[in-house]
Structure 1
Amino acid sequence: MTEREHSTVVGQLPRTDVSSPLTPAMLTRLVWALWMASLGLLAVGATWTGPGVAVDGLTVLMWVVVTFFSGIVHSYSRRYMAGSDHLGRFFYRLFAFTLVVMTLVAADHVALFALAWLGMGLVMADLIGIVRGWPQARAAGALARRYFVASGALLGAVLALLAWATGETTISGIGAQADALSIPVWAVAVGGLILVAMAQSALLPFHAWLLSSMTAPTPASALMHAGFVNAGGILLLRFAPLVTLDAMAMQILVVVGAISALGGKLLKTVQTDIKRQLGCSTVGQMGFMIMQAGLGFFGAAITHLILHGFFKAYQFLSVGDEIERTQPTTDHESSSMGVAGAVTTGLTALAGGAVFVALTDKGTHFGSGLVLVALVVLTTLHAVRSVVGAASVPAAVRFVAVPLVAVTAIAGYGLAYRAVDVALADLPVVTAPADLTIVHGLVLAAFLAAYLAIERGVYERSEWLYVTLLNATQPDPETLLTSQEEYNEY
């Protein structure tokens, strides 16, 4: 069939022989209660400081986001996991993950932060390998666990070094003493923080655990891509007083973010598996998030991770609807935009950039804000071109509706960015724009070159590039399923 004609299919009815001390229904209601409480705290602007804990704008904002995503996943999983032998274990870990992330974003003491970081990884590794009777799931969970334990150990070492060098045991205290750090200590600490953020957010070359994690139940994958990988941005914002001390560290963030942003896009183009396409997309989107932090716009990074979380959670939970059976055809619709299409696309991209500048005040000065605006323009250009260039789309849609929707979407992004900046106003560093350098110019040139290469299908004409990209998207061999009958047993 060429149209998405399918009947609605519901999951199995719950089994009466599968018991759980805390039922999924109870945990689901509790998560939604936490979301409502978090929403109330955000509305009143509640903040407080306690032993080892500092609840600020970032904390409350992340509580709202995390509990909302978790509530959606809990609700979805009640039907998705119905009848499963590991129903209870799944919901325990799902709820535990929610609590440990809420603890992480509120933690100020370095020991509590490090323990929450490690706990978050261990719980997610258990979710990835939740089907213990499935060797591939056990292998995927073990692989993820190795990454997360290494990441937690490195973070613990960095925090111990910072606590020793500053005499402070809280993140806020370390940030206040950042200027007093010696150059070697600062370099080691910031380098370690960047590596931890890269591994957590599955940036290249640390993306193997993410692409090998598809053994996780789809709801767990949704929470992973919508929340877990975002912790890299949270880490950089918490330690922004250290990271922003030197322009070189910020430029490193821009470069590693750009590599993953471009690499993720290219990897996605050669992947045929739907869930791994989404995984490659996450690699690219996390690269954009790290880039925004490197440009000095941490509010933009947080906005990006929130919006990406909504989008990716929806994509994973509706991934079954994306499967469509089609027949090969030799008829190819023209994708040529013509002069009118090219003009419409260009003007829409420029209008999107102008709206973003007007709403956020970024790009009005000669600095890294121009790079941020240029990325918005290029992203709008890429999104609009694919629709405007489709010959089958009516002209009224191509030249009127699409530009209006695109500019409206950019306006929504700009307003969300402003709102996030307001919520983060009590943090030490939220915006730290940098001067333009040759590094920024090279990054923009690389994005433009990649855009042109993808549009012209250069990678499709290079056998070496295609094979290289295809190999880079392959998960660990031990996590690959080779027999459908083996899967059906579990």
Structure 2
Amino acid sequence: MSGSTSKPAVGALPDTTAERPVVPVALTWLAWSLFAASVAALVGRVRFGFAPEIPGVVAVDGLTVLMWVVVAFFGGVVHSYSRRYMAGSAHETEFFLTVFGFVTVVMTLVAADHLALFGLLWLAMGLAMARLIGIVDGWEQARAAAAVARRYFVASSALLGVALAALWWATGATTVSGVAAAADALGGPIWLVAAGSLVLAAMIQSALVPFHGWLLSSMTAPTPASALMHAGFVNAGGVLLLRFAPVVTGDATLMLAIVAVGAASALLGKLLKSVRPDVKSKLACSTVGQMGFMIMQAGLGFFGAAITHLILHGFYKAYQFLGAGGGIERTSPAEKAKDATGGFRVLDLAVTLATGLAGGAVFVLLTGKGTSVDSGLLLVLFVVFTTLHAARGAVGHAELPAGVRYGAVPLAFLPAITVYALVYRAVSTLLAGLPVVTAPTELTAVHGLVAVAFLAAYLAMEAGVHERSRRLYVALLNAGHPSPGTVLTNTGEYDDGGA
């Protein structure tokens, strides 16, 4: 113990009507202007085929305008939220400049066509996020967390650089679109280096296991920066795989490997979440799991589903982080005691199973996926699984009357699945001009093994097997522990840092 005492942190909220630096106000206005312009670009794309380009440098397509709207919206929300959150901070102006810079870099990245420009913007995106993580220079843990994140992001950029150089060497193309057009001729060791590097770069960016350490060490980031990170930054792995889908879909074995690593992260994210004590760390572990699902959908050949997942997850996770204070209140001991009352009865199981199967049927009916003997069956299986998991949690709320629980669960989740399926169809339609949006693979025995292993592991977790194994529990604690230098040991240090 250092023996120091922390200063009181309780006081009146800043007066947002008082005189404030002009930069946050101007950048917030600009952020929402970008959103309005992005919506106009999306409408122009849908109605009039809006597709401007600077040949060989940038090209606007369906993915570009879609990500413009999503990223600009999150940027606007974070700017507006931060007006009060960062009020009075010594780093307020720098924070707003960095957030706005990050948003503009990402919006340029999704339009970049030149390989060198794409690689440089990928690096700039990572460096901007590392700066947001360590925005409080006087806080030792923040500096350490920024250094950890920066190492991961530079490694991701280096791998991407290797992939882009290998693709240029193999195809002679200097643009993303040129590589896609020549992808059919790829093969051999150069293709393996390029494809493997692309997948590893995406895994690092999306914080998949075993590269999740930077995300769990990033808790020093201001809460609005965390929202931007989890809602936008980690999703770049899915965008990368879609941009270079013609490269990674050329080999069924590689696609199967992508499914396997995605499934492993989906499961381990859930396991790590179960042993974390604080709300933000739980949300970070949840992101690891959700990014696993996103990468797994890409591995199944359904890139439209992966983009749909990252968009919906982004909205959900931004809400979760910006409302993290309410999450702490909802997980108080009194609330946990109420949730723990009652048991999971036979009728609960019947309603949960019926809701899950009905959700899968709705998805098949609206999207047409799962009607052929290919990887679409696994996509539907995971939709059923996700619905089952959500319905089980809702049915388990014992404080609600039984009639309300059993009637409300299907009435709530089936419309949600309907919305998801319709959004998926809309996203797939918007992405239709890309070289590869849907590339279902032939089902193999290994796909079956992955599905069975996933289901068995999930059932074991629900049964609490990991909680009864002391060795496994300790292993999960260690695997989910952030880098030692980033851990806050004295709350006074946080107060002194001025965050």
C-alpha contact 1:18 1:85 (8 A) present in aligned 2: no
Q: Is 1:254 matched with 2:259?
A: yes
1:33 CA drift (Å): 0.7
**Corresponding residue to 1:353 among 347, 356, 360:** 360
State how far apart, in whole Å, the 1-side matches of 2:338 and 2:44 are: 60
**Corresponding residue to 1:392 among 390, 399, 405:** 399
1:332 CA drift (Å): 5.1
Alignment: residue pair count: 480
Partner residue, 1:3: none
Q: Is 1:35 matched with 2:39?
A: no
**Corresponding residue to 2:322 among 297, 305, 317:** 317
Q: Is 1:161 matched with 2:195?
A: no
C-alpha contact 2:203 2:237 (8 A) present in aligned 1: yes
State how far apart, in whole Å, the 1-side matches of 2:11 and 2:52 are: 47
Q: Is 1:183 matched with 2:188?
A: yes
State how far apart, in whole Å, the 2-side matches of 1:257 and 1:43 are: 33
C-alpha contact 1:341 1:388 (8 A) present in aligned 2: yes
Which deviates the most, 44-53 or 107-116?
44-53
Which aligned pairs between 1:332-481 and structure 2 lie closer than 5 A? 333-338=341-346, 340-481=347-488
**Deviation by residue 1:311-340 (Cα, 9 ceiling, x = unmatched):** 0000000000111343596995222222x2
Which aligned pairs between 1:83-98 and structure 2 lie closer than 5 A? 83-98=88-103
Amino acid at match of 1:469: L
State how far apart, in whole Å, the 1-side matches of 2:187 and 2:133 are: 41
1:18 CA drift (Å): 7.6
Q: Secondary structure of 1:359's match?
A: helix
Amino acid at match of 2:403: A
Partner residue, 1:116: 121
**C-alpha RMSD of matched pairs (Å):** 1.8
Structure 2 regions of 5+ residues with no counterpart?
Answer: 1-9
Partner residue, 2:51: 47
C-alpha contact 1:201 1:286 (8 A) present in aligned 2: yes
C-alpha contact 1:13 1:83 (8 A) present in aligned 2: no
C-alpha contact 1:460 1:466 (8 A) present in aligned 2: yes
**Deviation by residue 1:270-290 (Cα, 9 ceiling, x = unmatched):** 111110000000000000000
1:383 CA drift (Å): 1.2
C-alpha contact 1:14 1:83 (8 A) present in aligned 2: no
**Deviation by residue 1:238-262 (Cα, 9 ceiling, x = unmatched):** 0001111110111011001001001
Amino acid at match of 2:51: T
State how far apart, in whole Å, the 1-side matches of 2:340 and 2:432 are: 52
**Deviation by residue 1:39-97 (Cα, 9 ceiling, x = unmatched):** 01111211122141010000000000000000000000001000000001000000000
Q: Secondary structure of 1:383's match?
A: helix
Percent identical across equivalent pairs? Answer: 64
C-alpha contact 1:335 1:390 (8 A) present in aligned 2: no
**Corresponding residue to 2:281 among 273, 276, 280:** 276
State how far apart, in whole Å, the 2-side matches of 1:306 and 1:352 are: 20
**Deviation by residue 1:167-210 (Cα, 9 ceiling, x = unmatched):** 11001101111122231111110000000000000000000000
**Deviation by residue 1:13-42 (Cα, 9 ceiling, x = unmatched):** 3698985xx511110111111111110111
Amino acid at match of 1:129: G
Q: Which 4+ runs in 1 deviate beyond 3 A? A: 8-11, 13-19, 327-332
TM-score scaled by structure 2? Answer: 0.93
State how far apart, in whole Å, the 1-side matches of 2:428 and 2:137 are: 43
**Corresponding residue to 1:141 among 136, 140, 146:** 146
Structure 1 regions of 5+ residues with no counterpart?
Answer: 1-7
Partner residue, 1:301: 306
